[in-house]
Amino acid sequence: MADPRGEELLRGRETSPRATFLELFFDVAFVFALTRVSARLINDFTVERRTFLPEVGQTLLLLLALWSVWSLTTWTTSRYNPEAPALQLVVAASMFASMVMAVSLPEAFDVRGLSFVLGYVIVQVGRPLVLTVVMRRHPEQHNAARILVWAAVSAVPWIAGAITHDDARGVLWTVAVVIDYTAARLGWPLPGRGRAPTSSWTVTGEHLAERYQQFIIIALGEMILVSGFGFSGSGFTGAQWVAFAITFASTVLLWRIYFYRAGTVLAEAVLGSAQPGRLAESATYTHLAMVGGIVATAVGYELVIGHPTGHTDPAWLWVIIGGPALFVVGRTRFEYEVFGRVSRSRLIGLVVLVAMVPLVVRLPPLGVAAATSTVLAGIAVTDALRARGRPPEQPAPPI
- How far apart CA 5 and CA 108 sit, in angstroms, is 40
- How far apart CA 39 and CA 265 sit, in angstroms, is 33
Q: Which residues pair with 194 in a beta bridge?
A: 190
3-state helix, strand, coil in the chain (%, to 5): 75, 0, 25
The reported pLDDT for the residue numbered 143 is 87
Are 394 and 265 in contact by the 8 Å Cβ rule? The answer is: yes
Span 129-181, pLDDT tens digits: 999 999 887 878 888 999 999 999 999 999 999 999 878 999 999 999 999 99
The residues, any chain, with a CB within 8 Å of residue 21's CB and separated by 6 or more, are none
The reported pLDDT for the residue numbered 198 is 75
- How far apart CA 93 and CA 133 sit, in angstroms, is 16
Q: Determine whether 202 is exposed, middle or buried from the number of CB atoms within 10 Å of its CB (0-12, 13-18, 19+).
A: exposed
Are 197 and 183 in contact by the 8 Å Cβ rule? The answer is: no
- How far apart CA 261 and CA 30 sit, in angstroms, is 25
- How far apart CA 92 and CA 351 sit, in angstroms, is 43
- How far apart CA 228 and CA 302 sit, in angstroms, is 9
Which residues, given as ranges, of the chain have pLDDT below 70?
1-7, 13, 48-53
Q: How is 106-132 classified by DSSP, letter by letter?
A: GGTTTT-HHHHHHHHHHHHHHHHHHHH
For residue 308, the 8-state DSSP code is: -
The reported pLDDT for the residue numbered 3 is 53
Q: Sort residue 80 into left (φ over 0), alpha (ψ -120 to 50) or beta.
A: beta
Are 367 and 361 in contact by the 8 Å Cβ rule? The answer is: no
CA dihedral 343, 346, 348, 352 (to 10 degrees): 180
- How far apart CA 50 and CA 166 sit, in angstroms, is 11
For residue 194, the 8-state DSSP code is: B
Are 87 and 77 in contact by the 8 Å Cβ rule? The answer is: yes
Rg (CA), the chain: 22
Are 302 and 226 in contact by the 8 Å Cβ rule? The answer is: yes
Q: How is 2-32 classified by DSSP, letter by letter?
A: --HHHHHHB--TTS-SSPPHHHHHHHHHHHH
For residue 384, the 8-state DSSP code is: H
Cα separations in angstroms, 307 against 12, 220, 227, 236, 316: 54, 22, 13, 12, 11
153 φ/ψ angles, rounded to the nearest 5 degrees: -65, -45
308 φ/ψ angles, rounded to the nearest 5 degrees: -75, -25
The residues, any chain, with a CB within 8 Å of residue 383's CB and separated by 6 or more, are 256, 257, 260, 261, 343, 345
The reported pLDDT for the residue numbered 5 is 56
Span 343-383, pLDDT tens digits: 999 999 999 999 999 999 999 999 999 999 999 999 999 98
Q: Which residues of 70-109 are buried (b: 16+ CB within 10 A; e: fewer)?
A: bbbbbbbbbbbbbbbebbbebbebbbebbbbbbbbbbebb
The maximal CA–CA distance of the chain, rounded, in angstroms, is: 72
